[in-house]
Structure 1
């Protein structure tokens, strides 16, 4: 299936675009006018269901709200003014966001549009005589459930709607949970096993169901002082993770960072992912977001660099250090860091040898030297050396990443904070802001093993079974020396292990809430209000629904 096919089969009502609450839209069947075949019409209805996933997972939407609100990532002002953005990233990190936060507004908008487009597909596809219709209907229904599941996780509600002209019913708590569950279960039988990872498959639905059941206690009562994890929910987590693991369709990748390479679309660890292949105009910016503005990864493109955005917090870094002390985690856990750039004595390298290190980047950085917009050459090769902040007009400030980072003037300098290059910088990107062609994992096999481990612990304190699952993931990374096997397992260790395996993958906030860690203290964050587990509903959405009194009410504490 093409990612964006020539579909003009729907127009969105103003309420959808402005508030994303009523989800009203006009459906126009133009196949007889445009001369589309039935297959093209079917494709053209399904493609929009997936089309905005790349926008959802961009660096300043879902990534920001899921990572910068946690102990894993922090984004201060840089150099006094850069990334100021009226303090929205400071507020996210301190659990003080407002209903006018643009990242929350955009995330809400994209999710609501995903639901709206799914409804359009569900109503139009039955009118098309094509053999794929049954599968496409299942995908559209499953994707509607997925978008609602994300709304439930972020904002505590879902929109239930089948008729495009009707007003959505808003569900919360148990009702919302049961609705999402029923939709995924209804979609699963007709999903395929062979079209992933960029489309929803049976494996993807199983993974989403496992995640839904794992978080069911939170979704039933998001402000609870202590979550009540039901045995029957954990049984379902184990059931669906068992289905994925026993299917034999997926494999843990021996090379951890290959899961996040630019060519990862065929990586067998991916179960469900955002399709970002360059030929489909992939554009995620997760690689360039954290890098320095003076890190230029590609000899072919002098304009492709980082943006000095978020860093990991000292608190998160210390979880690695404490786990492996007195050894350096870089030498013992292949998920933490991989050295790729080996600088020769003469500091001249071929273009093919300039490959950035991956993982968590610390200390003095080396790379392509750039003067007056051009890379320094030595014959046909490239000069590589110690980097300084030339692009920031601070030529005496080394690109020497420090552990400490905070919201002070000193802590917000361009060099503060250890950076993350987990997703490979696309070799086709001319700017770092385009062609980010790494498929972004939504569900992958390592997470499935860790979900099963957690369910075993929460169900019956099966520490041995949980330990076996965790160690299976650790032992699988055999491209280098794998991390040593753990000898014991409990919930705190499992939370730590999820951080090691899944950092920078938009899961940290959800994990922290479920493990009871979200009200903790880290870097600049001291807010312990349980009501901040949910984000404020965007004011534009509430204003857009103001003609329906009492229809859309703001979440508590906002």
Structure 2
């Protein structure tokens, strides 16, 4: 049985009674009733339970794309399954890299495999719109929970104190969306609860301004979020804010041209030493099993995107998409704990070559399905071209069945303590005076020991090794695109993989593709937006 927070989110999806839609992606939230039987905001917030229900909507929105799973979409023109936040992050962070490729030829999806996308790409539009929708929900929640509004509604002091923590979590989730927008698109508008509700054109901000906003928010949240390890499972705490800020700092040279590796290393060390999250001394596979919220893996997961086969009914969203789409060929779906496969996602040969073998013998993390699969991808549209990946499994760690086989129970590990180990090591290698090479080496070998991989020595601990080790440890966890850009190997010709650039053996791509284009339809909705260079 999963924790109660999942059921709160499921409950909210069906009883909210609010149509939270955007007439354009740059409008703020328009909260209007679908019919006379549903609630207006003020009526809805008279119920003391409503505040946690809206918070649950924010968390559930990371997985599902609408108020009843796939059926009723949050965003006009984008289906609920298509516009799942986690699904779109996976599409943009993984399909564009050496870690994944998808066989489907839906719309402009093949251009993401090849790094040949354009501003007309509907998957980029979905990503842009989903993040701004999430921001809009957070903004409306913050508007509805000011001290003045709470006092006017007669909210007592105990609930007010709880709502103060809810507000901090909403601000974190808003910052998380701005981080993703900054990372993917660069220059984007900023809207907060202080902006008017309704149609207006928010001003586009520079990447540096978005960076400063996210940095300021995350620093400030250290006083508002719950102390580390004191919140409900599935909800963020102070460690999550520090972790996201460490990611921001690790990539600061990309975002604003100013290295902040000292700050990144210091934050990572603070998380490692003081957060209460601990490295999970369980087999690596436990981290990605159906019971990863309770099998010991949860000790290192700082920010999970919660999944639940019974409570979250979204066939095409989140982990359901990742699991179904990665099963095909001669794979037995039942052995993966699923009811079938969609013959979509595999990995590329260059990523397989990062491991010492293809059988997970010398490194337990190299979990590939090879039976009937060719290592080379001669035809992108053929699922059996390319090794399949079996990292995630919808079975409990002891092999017993999950709750259902159509929608998985696997929680997606958005932030893991292990990544703090890797970030600390990288920042130290990049010159952080707050880091220590011997300590960094110890962290890396702790990670490798869990995977039954051979330890390395100080001479082997290089930046190139760190990039490869990040791939081996964190693949299919929505980090690869950002990592490759930070190492200067996403575009250009310094790192080539099959079908990069659209050719079977790969080719160099244009450096301007380190930034995604502002989607054309979003520019149509807000003509004040300026397109990124090269597009």
1: CA distance between counterparts of 2:347 and 2:21?
Answer: 41
**What is the Cα deviation at residue 543 of structure 1?**
1.1
2: CA distance between counterparts of 1:492 and 1:452?
Answer: 15
1:552 equivalenced with 2:529 (yes/no): yes
Q: Does structure 2 conserve the Cα–Cα contact (< 8 Å) formed by 1:311 and 1:420? A: yes
**What is the Cα deviation at residue 512 of structure 1?**
0.2
1:359-399 deviations in Å (ceiling 9; x for gaps): 2111x2xxxxxxxxxxxxxxxxxxxxxxxxxxxxxxxxxxx
1:448 equivalenced with 2:420 (yes/no): yes
1:160 equivalenced with 2:165 (yes/no): no
**What is the Cα deviation at residue 97 of structure 1?**
0.8
Tell me: CA distance 1:429–1:106, structure 2 relative to 1, closer, same or farther (3 Å): farther
1:21 equivalenced with 2:26 (yes/no): yes
1:400-444 deviations in Å (ceiling 9; x for gaps): 01111134xxx64342110012111354576x6x42221111100
Please state whether the residue corresponding to 1:441 is helix, strand or coil: strand
1: CA distance between counterparts of 2:332 and 2:278?
Answer: 33
Q: Does structure 1 conserve the Cα–Cα contact (< 8 Å) formed by 2:29 and 2:133? A: no
Match of 1:147 in 2: 177
**What is the Cα deviation at residue 33 of structure 1?**
4.1
1: CA distance between counterparts of 2:58 and 2:206?
Answer: 24
Unaligned runs of 5+ in 1: 77-82, 222-227, 337-358, 365-399
Match of 1:514 in 2: 486
1: CA distance between counterparts of 2:510 and 2:335?
Answer: 48
**What is the Cα deviation at residue 293 of structure 1?**
5.2
1:425-475 deviations in Å (ceiling 9; x for gaps): 354576x6x422211111001111001111111125954343222112222
**What is the Cα deviation at residue 282 of structure 1?**
5.8
Tell me: CA distance 1:109–1:499, structure 2 relative to 1, closer, same or farther (3 Å): same
Q: Does structure 1 conserve the Cα–Cα contact (< 8 Å) formed by 2:426 and 2:466? A: yes
**What is the Cα deviation at residue 3 of structure 1?**
1.7
**What is the Cα deviation at residue 14 of structure 1?**
4.2
Instruction: Give the TM-score normalised by the residue count of structure 1.
Output: 0.77
**What is the Cα deviation at residue 501 of structure 1?**
0.1
Within-5 A mapping of 1:7-86 = 8=16, 11-12=19-20, 14-15=22-23, 19-26=24-31, 30=40, 33=43, 37-38=47-48, 40-55=49-64, 60-76=87-103, 83-86=104-107
1:330 equivalenced with 2:364 (yes/no): no
RMSD across aligned positions (CA): 2.6
**What is the Cα deviation at residue 54 of structure 1?**
0.6
Match of 1:360 in 2: 368
- How many pairs does the alignment contain? 461
Q: Does structure 2 conserve the Cα–Cα contact (< 8 Å) formed by 1:294 and 1:306? A: no
Match of 1:170 in 2: 204
Q: Does structure 1 conserve the Cα–Cα contact (< 8 Å) formed by 2:300 and 2:416? A: yes
1: CA distance between counterparts of 2:432 and 2:43?
Answer: 61
Match of 2:213 in 1: 179
2: CA distance between counterparts of 1:491 and 1:446?
Answer: 17
Please state whether the residue corresponding to 1:499 is helix, strand or coil: helix
Within-5 A mapping of 1:182-331 = 182-192=216-226, 193=228, 194-221=230-257, 230=259, 233-247=260-274, 249-253=276-280, 254-266=282-294, 267-281=298-312, 283=314, 284=319, 285-292=321-328, 294-298=330-334, 304-320=339-355, 324=356, 330-331=360-361
Q: Does structure 1 conserve the Cα–Cα contact (< 8 Å) formed by 2:262 and 2:432? A: no
1: CA distance between counterparts of 2:335 and 2:95?
Answer: 31
1:497 equivalenced with 2:531 (yes/no): no
Match of 1:367 in 2: none
Tell me: CA distance 1:27–1:161, structure 2 relative to 1, closer, same or farther (3 Å): farther
**What is the Cα deviation at residue 155 of structure 1?**
0.8
1: CA distance between counterparts of 2:486 and 2:429?
Answer: 14
Q: Does structure 2 conserve the Cα–Cα contact (< 8 Å) formed by 1:293 and 1:305? A: no
Please state whether the residue corresponding to 2:164 is helix, strand or coil: helix
Unaligned runs of 5+ in 2: 34-38, 65-82, 396-400, 501-506
Q: Does structure 2 conserve the Cα–Cα contact (< 8 Å) formed by 1:259 and 1:269? A: no
1: CA distance between counterparts of 2:43 and 2:232?
Answer: 32
Q: Does structure 2 conserve the Cα–Cα contact (< 8 Å) formed by 1:289 and 1:310? A: yes
Is 143-152 or 515-524 further displaced after alignment?
A: 515-524
Match of 1:95 in 2: 115
Instruction: Give the TM-score normalised by the residue count of structure 2.
Output: 0.80
Q: Does structure 2 conserve the Cα–Cα contact (< 8 Å) formed by 1:274 and 1:439? A: yes
2: CA distance between counterparts of 1:35 and 1:115?
Answer: 19
**What is the Cα deviation at residue 172 of structure 1?**
1.9
Is 27-36 or 187-196 further displaced after alignment?
A: 27-36
Match of 1:523 in 2: 498
1: CA distance between counterparts of 2:358 and 2:332?
Answer: 27
**What is the Cα deviation at residue 295 of structure 1?**
3.0
Q: Does structure 2 conserve the Cα–Cα contact (< 8 Å) formed by 1:59 and 1:286? A: no
Tell me: CA distance 1:5–1:182, structure 2 relative to 1, closer, same or farther (3 Å): farther
Tell me: CA distance 1:494–1:34, structure 2 relative to 1, closer, same or farther (3 Å): closer
**What is the Cα deviation at residue 138 of structure 1?**
0.5
Q: Does structure 1 conserve the Cα–Cα contact (< 8 Å) formed by 2:261 and 2:428? A: yes
1:199-219 deviations in Å (ceiling 9; x for gaps): 121111111011011011111
Match of 2:9 in 1: 3
2: CA distance between counterparts of 1:35 and 1:515?
Answer: 47
1: CA distance between counterparts of 2:128 and 2:308?
Answer: 25
Match of 1:532 in 2: 513
2: CA distance between counterparts of 1:279 and 1:99?
Answer: 38
